[in-house]
Amino acid sequence: MKFKNSQRNNFFARGKRGVNVDLTHRCALECPRCPRQFVFRDNGEAVPGKDMTTNDFKKIAKFFTSIDFEGQLSDPVHHPRFIEFLRHCFEQNIHTEIHNASSVKSETWYQTAFKANPDAEWVFSIDGLPEESHKYRINQNGRKLYDIMVMGKEYLRTAPTWQYIVFRYNEESIDKAIEMAKSDGLKFYLLQSSRWESDDDPYRPLSDKYRTPLREKK
């Protein structure tokens, strides 16, 4: 659809406008049910893509009032200019949300990122108690990422969220995780997956409460 200039300006002026941005093609994790693995790696292919340029990002930031950095094939912290993008969102008063699971960045890096945009809302994906999250989030240091999440409260205006996907290995740890989040002043979000390969998928919860249907085969 093509717009005349006046129509286009009116379209982009209508209230809150949000977009999810996959900034890069990199991620340090090897989560078994992520498309990075079963679509590309398991077929001997490299994950396609490249880093978004600063110019392209600023074009997006010009038209959207809310940006969600939730990579589908990547983790946003791996973009070399991510902190610069966070700072730009803060300066332009753009609502910002970050979903992070990779744990390779240093504590100092996170402190700089938090300070660059103290209004940003961070969601940390740690599936299970910190010492067991690596069973699905392969290569993740759950304890390190949990401590960084708690540290974030010192710099952010909104407490970070602990996102916890239910798997067979962690379904008995949910109550303890909820208590940990409450004790440490974190938000807690329980998420159920449907990325199961079969009825006996080793990651699929045993409890009917969390045993979602199998994903449809295409």
Q: At what angle do helices 82-91 and 54-63 cross, to 10 degrees?
A: 30
Per-residue tens of pLDDT for the chain, all 218 residues:
343 444 444 444 456 789 999 999 999 999 999 999 988 988 889 899 999 999 999 999 999 999 999 988 999 999 999 999 999 999 999 999 999 999 999 999 999 999 999 999 999 999 999 999 999 999 999 999 999 999 999 999 999 999 999 999 999 999 999 999 999 999 999 999 988 888 889 999 999 999 888 776 55
In the chain, DSSP finds a helix count (H) and a strand count (E) of 7, 6
User: 93: buried, middle or exposed (CB in 10 Å: 19+, 13-18, 0-12)?
Assistant: exposed
φ/ψ of residue 161, rounded to 5: -110, 130
Question: Which tokens belong to 21?
Answer: 């941005």
Pairing label, strands 161-165, 187-191: parallel
Place of tokens 């208590």: 179
All structural domains of the chain with their residue ranges: 20-162
Q: What is the CATH number of domain 20-162?
A: 3.20.20.70
